[in-house]
């Protein structure tokens, strides 16, 4: 089963805890949720180049 990073981030933003997400998606591991957060943090930190 593939779960999109954006789906996990939206679930977290809705206030669902990591523990609840792991119960709902048993294929996920805590490290997967951390990886989603790290991905989002890195994407938010990208510089924009305006042409």
Q: Please report the pLDDT score of residue 1 as a whole number.
A: 65
Quote the mean pLDDT of the chain: 92
Closest CA to 39 of 3, 15, 27: 3
Whether the predicted pLDDT of 23 surpasses 70: yes
Q: Please report the pLDDT score of residue 49 as a whole number.
A: 62
* Mean pLDDT, rounded, for 18-30: 96
Burial call 31-48: b when 16+ CB within 10 Å, e when fewer: ebbeebeeebeeeeeeee
* 8, burial (CB in 10 Å: exposed 0-12, middle 13-18, buried 19+): buried
Q: Which H or E run contains 3?
A: none
């Amino acid at each position: 089963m593939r779960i999109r990073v954006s789906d996990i981030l939206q679930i977290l933003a809705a206030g669902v805890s990591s523990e609840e997400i792991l119960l709902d998606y048993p294929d996920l591991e805590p490290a997967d949720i951390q990886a989603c957060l790290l991905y989002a943090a890195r994407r938010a930190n990208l510089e924009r180049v305006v042409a």
